[in-house]
């Protein structure tokens, strides 16, 4: 039944990540409006940073090794529930369908470049080499 504990950690992390995503999306809409999916972009950048930072920091040979359960909880659970690639895809399609090709392109470029940069920054700040 060891696998059941791992699934429980992932489920708990996913629930927390999903609640955090919903809250952050509402905050973003209140702060900057709905003309561009800023909330999703910020969530994906932050989630990318966290998975890069935590993943590097807690590797078995990293500065702060963590158990497999803790890594599953944060990296699969929280980050998986928090980041929103499916939302990103839908919002990109909606921008395209609405005739907003340049906004869609800007959103895709910003998401890919900034999320990779967020992951790399997290990795670097946790002591990883780029």
In angstroms, the CA 81 to CA 63 distance is 26
Domain range list for the chain: 2-125
pLDDT tens digit sequence for 41-76: 999 999 999 999 999 999 999 999 999 999 999 999
Query: pTM for the full model?
Result: 0.82
In angstroms, the CA 109 to CA 97 distance is 18
Task: State the DSSP H helix or E strand holding residue 6, giving kind and residue range, or none if neither.
Answer: helix 2-32
Give the residue ranges of the chain where pLDDT is below 50.
Answer: none
* 114 Cβ neighbours under 8 A, 6+ residues apart: 41, 44, 45, 48
């Amino acid at each position: 039944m060891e696998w059941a504990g791992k699934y429980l950690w992932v489920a708990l992390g996913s629930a927390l990540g999903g609640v955090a995503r919903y809250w952050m999306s509402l905050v973003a809409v209140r702060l900057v409006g709905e003309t561009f999916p800023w909330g999703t972009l910020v969530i994906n950048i932050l989630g990318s940073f966290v998975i890069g930072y935590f993943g590097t920091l807690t590797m078995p040979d990293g500065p702060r090794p963590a158990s497999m359960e803790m890594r599953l909880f944060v990296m699969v659970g929280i980050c998986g529930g928090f980041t929103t690639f499916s939302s990103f895809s839908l919002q990109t399609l909606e921008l395209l369908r609405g005739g907003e090709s340049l906004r869609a392109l800007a959103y895709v470029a910003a998401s890919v470049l900034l999320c990779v940069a967020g992951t790399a920054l997290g990795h670097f700040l946790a002591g990883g080499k780029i």
